Each structure stands twice: as C-alpha cells, then as structure tokens.
C-alpha cells in the first residue's frame, strides 16, 4: 500500500510544493494511502459564504448550483470555492481505514462521522448530487472523500439529529473561540447574530459576560433580528446592514453610551463588513473575524485608516474541544435547540 504524509502532501497535484488547502488541485483518487480514511459521503455542508456566492452566481437555479459545485470538484479534486476560498464539511460513513492511520480518537469502519476539516483541503469525488437544501446550505450526494491522518472529526452523537449536528459542527469554532475571548462584565457585539454561528456565539457571550456584561446582536433583517431576540441572550438587537460601517458604529455607540464593545464577533457571510466590526469596538478591544468573507487586507488597512488600535483575530475553525463545546450548547439551551431543529432538521 502507498505510504502517505500525515498532512496529505502526497495528494497535491498543483502546485506541487504546497499543502492540500492552499493547493489549486489535489488528487481525489479513492484508492487510499496507508494512513488515510475513506469515507462514503452522504451530505456536504457548504460554507455559508461559499454557498451564498454560488447561489448568487447560479441565479438561485438548483440545476445551475449543482453544475457549479460539481464543476469545482471536478476541476480541483476538492470543494474549494475559487471566489471565496472556502469549502465546508461533510457527513459520511467510514468505509476503509488505512493500516498506518493514527487518529486522535478511536475510529472503526462503519462509524458515522462529521469531518471538522474544511472541504477546501479534503479530496472529494461527487458521483451524483441528489438534493440541494438551499435554506440550510446542505447538499445530499453520492460520493467519496478522504480524511488525512492529521484530519480532525467528530463521531456523530446519538442524542442529536444528524443534520442538526452537522449544522452545529460546521461552525463549532465560533462558539468555542467566543468562550475563550469573553470575560465577565464585557460588552460583546455579535454581528450576524441571527445566523447559526451568531446564535451559538450569543449563548457563549451571555454565559461568559454574565449579568454584569452587555450582549448586543446585529442582524440585517427583521426575521433574523427576531430570531436573535427570541433566544433571550441579548440585551438589545440592532437591525443594520453590516457593510454600512457608520450606521453600525452609531447604533452601537448609542446603546453602549459611547463605550463601544470590548469584544466584537463577526459571523456574517458577505464581504465588506470589516470596518463595521472595527468601528464598533473600543480602542484596545478585540475583534474576532469568524466570517470566511473577511479580507485580511481590508481589516488591516481599514483599522489603520480610521486610527483604531484593536486586536484582530482571524477565526480559526479549530480550537481545543470545539466540537464538544458547541454540541453541548444544544443540550444546555432548549431555546437554541428548538431554533436549530426548526431551521436545520
């Protein structure tokens, strides 16, 4: 059997000196190397920024969406959106485990799992797209995928519906990072508060900031505003276009008495929201960009241009125990579980 690198460099086709994520094209041959896992794929959860872009390009037409998704995978050997640079994750069943594979947690053939590494680095073959769920960014397929030895995953819990688990695990890093960043008494702004990552962040922000803190949601539409309000985690939810930096800043200034946010968390799936996050935050505060639509250049030069001294963190989709933390929110919060079950199951 062929021997592989733990990080999957043996799969890189173009350019040959990169790791799988930044590479343009990788090998999606389903004959595994000695340290890989072959997965029979059932559902792709496309990253929100990526699905939004694809749906817009397709004019909302399902057949065109299928064509774009299969075209990306055929060209690149992975679902790595060339516009957004992002991918997503998947649910599937373990079909075969290489003899040299050494995972961080036990795994057996037949186990059902969700990968916690991006589709932008996962070798993927799509044989057929069976159904598109536009409202939840999920795609049912017949296909195969490869998990590298270094790849993280979660065996699906038995007490939660699979599509619910997939929706939560897709954004698990957001809530877990929020738990690390927010301190008692903090003023926290969550931009994109009505989306799935935003809702999980509201829970952790409220939990960590406590009764002496202030949690402020920002949502673009009345429906998402009401959804965020229904959680009971927000002191106030503002309705604002996150790409309108001055409007967001002025509304946050009003509800904080001019103090602004200690921590701002950006969970939106559209571009040009960097300055809203920066201007909503006090000097020496922290901005956490979980959004895959974030531009490092726009954030860095934008902060410089407005003279804001803020610590900016580019969201890492992985932090220790992030899957356990985020899935447990569904057990801790009946209100969020009800919302997620209505939206994603």
pLDDT of residue 1: 83
In a domain, 167, yes or no: no
The residue segments making up the domain with residue 96 are 9-156
Are 138 and 279 part of one and the same domain? no
Residue ranges in the chain whose pLDDT is less than 70: none
Are 56 and 152 part of one and the same domain? yes
Are 189 and 229 part of one and the same domain? yes
pLDDT of residue 187: 98
Are 121 and 197 part of one and the same domain? no
Final residue in a domain of this structure, among 156, 188, 206: 156
37-46/88-97 β-pairing: antiparallel
pLDDT of residue 203: 97
Phi and psi, residue 189, nearest 5°: -110, 125
Are 141 and 234 part of one and the same domain? no
Are 188 and 92 part of one and the same domain? no
Whether the CA torsion 183, 186, 190, 193 is positive or negative: it is positive
Are 198 and 265 part of one and the same domain? yes
Tens digit of pLDDT for each residue in 185-232?
999 999 999 999 999 999 999 999 999 999 999 999 999 999 999 999
Final residue in a domain of this structure, among 156, 185, 214: 156
SS3 label, residue 115: strand
Are 320 and 222 part of one and the same domain? yes
Tens digit of pLDDT for each residue in 247-275?
999 999 999 999 999 999 999 988 999 99
281-289/261-266 β-pairing: parallel
pLDDT of residue 193: 97
Q: State how far the Cα of 41 lies from the Cα of 46, in Å rounded to an integer.
A: 13
């Amino acid at each position: 059997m062929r021997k592989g690198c733990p990080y999957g460099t043996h799969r890189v086709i173009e350019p040959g000196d990169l790791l799988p994520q930044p590479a343009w094209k990788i090998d999606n041959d389903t004959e595994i190397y000695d340290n890989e896992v072959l997965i029979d794929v059932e559902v792709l959860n496309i990253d929100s920024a990526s699905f939004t872009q694809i749906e817009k390009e397709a004019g909302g037409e399902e057949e065109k969406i299928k064509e774009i998704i299969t075209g990306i995978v055929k060209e690149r050997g992975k679902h790595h959106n060339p516009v957004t640079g992002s991918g997503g994750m998947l649910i599937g069943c373990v079909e075969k485990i290489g003899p040299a594979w050494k995972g961080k947690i036990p795994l057996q053939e037949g186990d059902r799992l969700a990968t916690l590494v991006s589709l932008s680095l996962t070798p993927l073959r799509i044989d057929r797209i069976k159904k598109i769920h536009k409202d939840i960014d999920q795609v049912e397929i017949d296909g195969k995928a490869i998990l590298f030895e270094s790849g993280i995953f979660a065996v699906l819990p038995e007490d939660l519906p699979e599509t619910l688990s997939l929706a939560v695990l897709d954004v698990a890093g957001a809530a877990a990072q929020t738990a690390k960043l927010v301190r008692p008494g903090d003023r926290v702004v969550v931009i994109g508060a009505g989306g799935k990552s935003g809702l999980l962040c509201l829970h952790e922000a409220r939990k960590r900031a406590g009764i002496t803190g202030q949690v402020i949601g920002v949502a673009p539409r009345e429906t998402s505003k009401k959804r965020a309000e229904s959680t009971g985690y927000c002191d106030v939810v503002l309705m604002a276009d996150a790409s309108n930096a001055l409007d967001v800043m002025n509304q946050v200034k009003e509800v904080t008495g001019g103090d602004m946010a200690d921590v701002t968390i950006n969970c939106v799936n559209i571009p040009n929201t960097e300055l809203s996050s920066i201007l909503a935050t006090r000097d020496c505060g922290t901005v956490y960009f979980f959004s895959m639509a974030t531009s490092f250049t726009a954030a860095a030069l934008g902060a410089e241009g407005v003279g804001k001294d803020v610590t900016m963190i580019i969201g890492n989709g992985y932090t220790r125990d992030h899957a356990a933390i985020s899935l447990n929110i569904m057990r801790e919060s009946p209100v969020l579980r009800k919302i997620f079950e209505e939206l994603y199951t």
